Structure formats: structure tokens, C-alpha cells
């Protein structure tokens, strides 16, 4: 007879319990992993949404809008007109397009494309209330006029 101690064979019940516990642990780890992935996906989508919305709200999300703003600088418009709502020599362009504008003669006008074109090409015709006449009349190409009107509209 041998002096060896017989090996204890685990019962089927304890083997099943260990396997069930391991499976439950793996399932919980998988659930945590899925939740982390979901949180990351939602965060990335939120950041993309905020970035896209910001670009749209600022109206400067493309090269065309930048080119339009360059026309306002090149023609000297930006020296008297702001794009951020601050008061300056001339009315701000922020929120101008589509708004109702009070004129110095007591009338009002909607700042549609036709008004914007008139204000740029014949600046003394309709003076905005609270501002002195003084915008210089200058020759402006159709291309620059279109660019300025589009730029002002993008700031609405």
C-alpha cells in the first residue's frame, strides 16, 4: 500500500458553482466595458455636435464666409462696423440681416438683401437712427457687393 494521500476530487456541484461564478464575473466585466464604450461614444457625438453647432452659429464654418469677411476688411468696412454687437462709428452687422432697423427720419425698414445693397451702394439714402451720416460712398464691384451682403447675412 502506498503512503500517498488520495487526491480530493471536487464535486460536480462545486465545479458548477466555480464556473457559474466565473461566467457571472465575465458578464459583469463585459457590461462595464459596454457602458464605458457607450459613454465614450456619447461624449464624442456631443463634442462633434457642439463643434458643428458652434460653426453654424458663428457663420464662419467655411472658406466662403472667411473670403466675405476679407472683403469687408479690404474695402475698409470693418473700421466702422463690428461683427460682435459692439457699438462703433457705424451699426454693428451682428444680427442686422432680417432685423427691423429704425432710421433717423423716424421710419423703419427690414434689413433684407435689397436694404443691405442700398445701404452699401448709397449710404446717405437711409441713415440708421443714432448714427451720424458719414459712410463714404465708393465704387464697389458686384462680386464684392454680393460678398458683403452674404457676410452680413451670415452674422444674423
Q: What is the 3-state secondary structure (H, E, C) of the chain?
A: CCCCCCCCCCCHHHHHHHHHHHHHHHHHHHHHHHHHHHHHHHHHHHHHHHHHHHHHHHCCCCHHHHHHHHHHHHCCHHHCCCCCCCCCCCCCCCCCCCCEEEECCCCEEECCHHHHHHHHHCCCCCCECCCCCCCCCCCCCHHHHHHHHHHHHHCC
pLDDT tens figures, 22-65: 777 787 887 888 888 777 776 666 666 655 555 555 554 455 55
Q: Which residue has the higher pLDDT, 37 or 146?
A: 146
pTM: 0.57
Considering the four listed CATH numbers 1.10.10.10, 1.10.760.10, 3.40.50.300, 3.20.20.10, the one that applies to the domain covering 63-154 is 1.10.760.10
Amino acid at each position: 500500500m502506498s503512503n500517498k494521500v488520495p487526491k480530493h476530487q471536487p464535486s460536480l456541484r462545486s465545479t458548477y458553482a466555480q464556473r457559474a461564478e466565473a461566467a457571472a464575473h465575465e458578464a459583469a466585466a463585459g457590461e462595464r466595458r459596454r457602458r464605458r464604450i457607450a459613454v465614450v461614444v456619447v461624449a464624442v457625438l456631443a463634442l462633434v455636435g457642439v463643434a458643428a453647432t458652434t460653426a453654424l452659429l458663428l457663420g464662419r464654418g467655411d472658406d466662403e464666409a472667411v473670403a466675405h469677411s476679407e472683403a469687408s476688411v479690404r474695402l475698409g468696412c470693418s473700421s466702422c462696423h463690428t461683427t460682435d454687437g459692439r457699438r462703433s462709428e457705424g451699426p454693428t452687422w451682428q444680427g442686422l440681416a432680417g432685423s427691423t432697423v429704425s432710421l433717423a427720419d423716424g421710419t423703419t425698414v427690414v434689413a433684407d438683401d435689397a436694404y443691405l445693397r442700398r445701404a452699401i451702394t448709397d449710404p446717405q439714402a437711409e441713415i440708421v437712427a443714432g448714427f451720424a451720416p458719414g459712410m463714404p460712398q465708393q465704387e464697389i464691384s458686384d462680386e464684392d457687393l454680393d460678398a458683403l451682403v452674404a457676410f452680413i447675412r451670415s452674422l444674423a
